[in-house]
Amino acid sequence: MDAIFAAENIGAGYGDAIIIQDISIHVAEGEIVAIVGPNGSGKSTLIKSFLGFARLFQGSVFYQGKDITGVASDRVVSLGIGYVPQINNIFPNLTIAENLDMGAYHRKGKASIKSAMEEVYDMFHELKERKKSLAGNLSGGERQMLAIARAMMAQPEVLLLDEPLASLSPKPASVILSKMESIRENGTAIVIVEQNVKKVLSISNRGYVLVNGTCAMEGDAESLFAEESSKQRYLGLEAKKD
């Protein structure tokens, strides 16, 4: 399958500090691709470099075959790429419905926004039941759900998620993962940066393992699990005992 989103030979960091070097990834339509690895490996820096939130020293970013390297982040969103940061990803003083409205600022026409809202509420019915509640009163899992739902209001073709399961207990984490699978089923490609390797690879088609700012491994999710020598060294998973 052709890639709907790709990044080639990325070198990025902050200020004059280079955090990641020579990393390439691609994602096809309807795929979930995980970016995993130890703490400090550069996972979040990589995803931020796609949108200009980290300094890009080298490399190129492509969307639907077009070079979007250096395009302003708001323009990237309008092109069809959604982004959910790890923190500060909702407006706590606004209601759930108002947060979703904020996610539709690129859409034109009340009918279009209403249609998008109905689609989002169909997928995130938990939010519809509390749409008049202040976002600041939501639990951690509900906040993350709202952040993802707000990004989906723009009906992106590609969704970038930075640590969506961070600090979540197993039950809400499982709910978030099921929502991601539903989003994939609707045709949206997803790139997930995540610390919870086992959970994220369980729903992913493919994965990239970053170590010390470079890509140490890549492949389909099953093959990454099958590499016994990599489990403890790169993924923090316990290797199978004979």
pLDDT (tens digit per residue) in 145-158: 999 999 999 999 99
- Look at residue 181 in the predicted model and tell me its pLDDT: 96
The pLDDT value recorded for residue 241 is: 44
The backbone torsions φ and ψ at residue 228, rounded to the nearest 5 degrees and listed phi first, read -60, -40
Who wins on pLDDT, 68 or 237?
68
pLDDT of residue 232: 55
The answer to whether the predicted template modeling score (pTM) of the entire model surpasses 0.85 is yes
**In CATH, what is the architecture of 3-87+156-235?**
3-Layer(aba) Sandwich (3.40)
Task: Please write the tens of the pLDDT for every residue from 75-90.
Answer: 998 899 999 999 889 9
For the cut 90, the answer to whether the pLDDT of residue 109 exceeds it is no
Q: What is the DSSP letter of 155?
A: -
User: Which of 68-72, 166-170, 234-238 has the least mean pLDDT?
Assistant: 234-238
Helix (H, G, I), strand (E, B) or coil at 77: helix
CA distances from 118 to 90, 100, 101, 179, 194 (A): 19, 11, 12, 16, 29
Q: Could you tell me the pLDDT band of residue 239, with boundaries at 50, 70 and 90? A: very low
Residue 126 pLDDT > 60, yes or no? yes
Contacts of 89 (CB under 8 A, 6+ apart): 143, 144, 147
Instruction: Report the pLDDT value the prediction gives residue 85, as an integer from 0 to 100.
Output: 94
Residue 83 falls in which region: left (phi positive, over 0), alpha (psi -120 to 50) or beta: beta
Task: Please name the residue that has the structure tokens 């994965």.
Answer: 207
191 close to 28: Cβ distance less than 8 angstroms: no
pLDDT digits (tens, 9 = 90+) for 191-233: 999 988 889 999 999 999 999 999 999 999 888 877 654 555 6
